Chain A
């Protein structure tokens, strides 16, 4: 590849990352069953959401009401063994942990915890309660977590539900600032997670 072409493709890639105007966010209407995260996982939201054009990873997508920093409902639709939860920013220096086909359900919150610690550059990420639930028709886990992003002191709370089905990880997380935002849409987020089917 010539320097010029390389330069151009780098510029395009950089533009795609840094310019949000290209993203194309879509309305998720209430009451319709919809497939998420480019997978066979479906959910049926009872209220409207926005799907962000920017995806956290190939088999992931994020819904929000006010922006992903204020309320973030992310779907991971069947992450294969050997793959990280989301896109790696720096695979060489800060590789993310990967899904394993033999993971136990209790390994799911641990995977999210270590992925966040690396990706967000924060030590302030902790798992709260962990309990078994049925998720998307499989034996799954429901857990709570709390974290702050690097360079911030704003406390965020999260809730996740996941299961290993057919050797793949299915996971739905909801997170928001602990102040006001978490409580405001946690019921809507739980309703979406409750409706998950494979």
Chain B
């Protein structure tokens, strides 16, 4: 790595204290993943790319399809009734993203943790009990939210990164966000979250998308023991 980004201890997984999910006990609904792929301009702005997003959508859906059967519980796809308002699901996904970002910023960075969130092993985050009103969650115990957002550094951005490194300014080329969270439908509480701003796996190809999905679902509650994932967690 050329950048001199200071390395801080950062957590990537949160679990509500005492939360356990035994295999075969819950019905989980996988919401339609929220996927954005684009380029990062020299100035750091996000420029969406429809082709990449379409590829990623297909690849991640396929990878999630493969992973769904090995999560230890019944994980079904979200089916929205025909007369439902799609804006409501989108709004909840954006709220989930805002909550995940807040968890990263104010819980996973121990030095920046909010004092009221510092108390013993606390993990209290919620989308609100009204999440149960989402059409398509009837009869579900948990909703699984999945978000990925990738900004691939343009050539200009990478060049800037090199020059910035010479001046000891940390400039990242690329953003590779991934959030996966399990929400208790009855209470709206976030019971498990895996979130990182720099995930591995190029979602534009099938293999990369599988790597991303493995990383997103690492430590999923109730999942039978994983094969070692050391190769996955290495920086891309």
Contacts and interface: CB of A to CB of B under 8 A. Distances in A.
B57 to A, nearest CB: 18
Contact of A180 (B8, B95, B113, B167): B95
Interface stretch (A11-19, A94-102, A128-136): A11-19
A154 B94 contact: yes
Given A65-B116, A177-B95, A180-B188, A19 B8 contact: yes
Interface in B150-169: 166-169
**Max chain A C-beta neighbours (<10 A), residue from B4, B130, B168:** B168
B168 A8 contact: yes
Nearest to B113: A25
B101 interface: yes
B8 A21 contact: yes
B112 A23 contact: yes
Contact of A66 (B4, B125, B169, B170): B125
Nearest to A154: B94
Nearest to B4: A11
Interface in A122-177: 151-155, 177
Contacts of B125: 66
Contacts of B130: 179-180
Interface in A16-41: 18-23, 25-27
A177 B98 contact: yes
A180 B170 CA distance: 36
B52 interface: no
Interface in B79-104: 90-92, 94-95, 97-99, 101-102
Q: How large is the interface on A (under 10, 10 to 19, 20 to 34, 35 or more residues)?
A: 35 or more
A82 interface: no
B109 to A, nearest CB: 5
A181 B97 CA distance: 14
Interface string A47-65: 0111001000000000011
Interface in B33-92: 46, 90-92
Contacts of A153: 90-91, 94
Contacts of A151: 46
Given A7-B169, A69-B102, A154 B95 contact: yes
Nearest to B128: A180
B169 A27 contact: no
A10 interface: yes
Given A27-B115, A65-B116, A66-B125, A11 B109 contact: no
A180 B196 CA distance: 24
Given A67-B105, A184-B128, A20 B112 contact: yes
Contact of B127 (A14, A48, A67, A180): A180
B74 to A, nearest CB: 27
Given A153-B91, A179-B91, A179-B128, A25 B115 contact: yes
Nearest to A18: B170
Interface string B1-25: 0001010100000000000000000
A188 to B, nearest CB: 12
Nearest to B115: A27
B91 A154 contact: yes
Contact of A50 (B97, B101, B114): B114
A15 B8 CA distance: 12
A70 interface: yes
A69 B101 contact: yes
Nearest to A54: B112
**Max chain B C-beta neighbours (<10 A), residue from A49, A65, A179:** A179
B116 A10 contact: no
B187 to A, nearest CB: 12
A80 to B, nearest CB: 30
Contacts of B169: 7, 10-11, 14
B32 to A, nearest CB: 15
Given A19-B6, A25-B112, A25-B113, 17 more contacts: A7-B167, A10-B168, A14-B170, A23-B111, A23-B112, A25-B106, A26-B115, A48-B116, A50-B114, A50-B117, A66-B125, A70-B102, A151-B46, A180-B127, A180-B128, A180-B130, A181-B128
